[in-house]
């Protein structure tokens, strides 16, 4: 199928979980630049259970961002992952790692660099791409599956409206399968789960460059999440930039506020600067 600046290879199986196929769509640009970007839509880590329900990779968020990425030459891998209500943390994190390992293992088939893979996502997808950036992601050298021997870490991240600190968020997140811990509770299993699932926990000086996009009127994932992540990166000495969208609310286009910054253009500049180096 051809759409503007790219062709689409649909329903590529990047892994199997207990007989369940994990799928992705590959958007191949007309003029590829040799670099790939994993794209994860926001969903609240949730998908409907009906047979006819739309897959995560087929949602409208791809139409907002993928044409911009492919027009700039980036090969885009839009993935599904296991989700609520059937699956809780860490299922989605595990699936995103598997996707990166699969892409890296087959990089020559997609004409991209295996050493320079980027990731972009919004909301829950922003959380997942953030985890891909900050966690080690080392492969298992002893695995019988050569894909699992590959690294799952990405080299450049764009996170839109991402929940990155579940303790700071101060409300329960079904994805974590625990109620939010009480204030002052630092020893419970619930507290440990909230910390473990938070990308901010893993920020170090060698984290890849992060571009954070966030609306300052977001009532779903508050702007202080992006501010906290920016500070964590600055304190660690890692590369980060936060773009505030004035009046922006939660959603792929931030509710289309008046005169927003050119966040799509900034995304391409970020990738061109830090993924291609």
For residue 72, the domain's CATH number is 3.40.50.1820
Model pTM above 0.85: yes
Tell me whether residue 178 is in a domain.
no
30 lies in a domain? yes
Tally of structural domains, the chain: 1
- Its domain, for residue 143, covers 2-165+194-274
Residue 38 included in any domain: yes
**Which residues 6+ apart lie within 8 Å of 157 measured at CB?**
118, 119, 120, 129, 130, 132, 133, 208, 209, 210, 211
Burial 91-114 (b: 16+ CB within 10 A, else e): bbbbbbbbbbbbbbbbbeebebbe
pLDDT digits (tens, 9 = 90+) for 199-228: 999 999 999 999 999 999 999 999 999 999
Position 94 scores a pLDDT of 98
State the greatest distance between any 2 C-alpha atoms of the chain, in Å, as a whole number. 55
Angle at 137 (CA atoms; ends 135, 142), nearest 5 degrees = 150
| Residue 208 domain flag | yes
Query: What confidence tier does 4 reach under pLDDT thresholds 50, 70, 90?
Result: low
Q: How far apart are CA 132 and CA 123, in angstroms?
A: 14
Report whether pLDDT(170) > 90.
no
124, two tokens? 């829950």
Inside any domain, residue 140: yes
Residue 1: what pLDDT? 46
> Which pLDDT belongs to residue 2?
46
Q: Is residue 177 situated within a structural domain? A: no
- Assigned domain for 42 exists: yes
- Tokens coding 176: 């974590």
Residue 175 placed within a domain: no
Tens of pLDDT, residues 76-130? 999 999 999 999 999 999 999 999 999 999 999 999 999 999 999 999 999 999 9
């Amino acid at each position: 199928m051809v759409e503007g600046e790219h062709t689409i290879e649909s329903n590529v199986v990047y892994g199997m979980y207990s007989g369940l196929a994990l799928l992705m769509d590959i958007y191949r640009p007309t003029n590829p630049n040799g670099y790939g970007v994993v794209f994860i839509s926001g969903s609240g880590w949730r998908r409907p259970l009906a047979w006819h329900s739309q897959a995560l990779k087929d949602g409208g968020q791809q139409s907002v961002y993928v044409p911009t990425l492919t027009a700039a030459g980036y090969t885009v891998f839009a993935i599904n992952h296991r989700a609520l209500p059937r699956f809780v943390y860490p299922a989605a994190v595990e699936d995103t790692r598997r996707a990166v390992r699969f892409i890296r293992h087959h990089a020559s088939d997609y004409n991209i660099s295996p050493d320079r893979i980027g990731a972009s996502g919004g909301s829950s997808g922003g959380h997942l791409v953030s985890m891909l950036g900050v966690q080690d992601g080392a492969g298992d050298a002893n695995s019988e599956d050569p894909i699992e021997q590959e690294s799952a870490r990405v080299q450049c991240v764009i996170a839109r409206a991402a929940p990155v600190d579940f303790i700071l968020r101060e409300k329960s997140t079904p994805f974590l399968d625990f109620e939010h811990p009480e204030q002052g509770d630092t020893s419970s299993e619930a507290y440990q789960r909230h910390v473990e699932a938070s990308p901010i926990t893993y920020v170090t000086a060698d984290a890849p460059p992060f571009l954070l996009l966030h609306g300052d009127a977001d009532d779903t994932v508050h702007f202080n999440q992006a501010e906290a992540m920016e500070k964590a990166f600055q304190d660690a000495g890692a590369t980060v930039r936060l773009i505030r969208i004035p009046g922006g609310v939660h959603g792929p286009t931030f509710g289309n506020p008046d005169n927003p910054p050119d966040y799509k253009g900034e995304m391409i500049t970020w990738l061109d600067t830090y993924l291609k180096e």
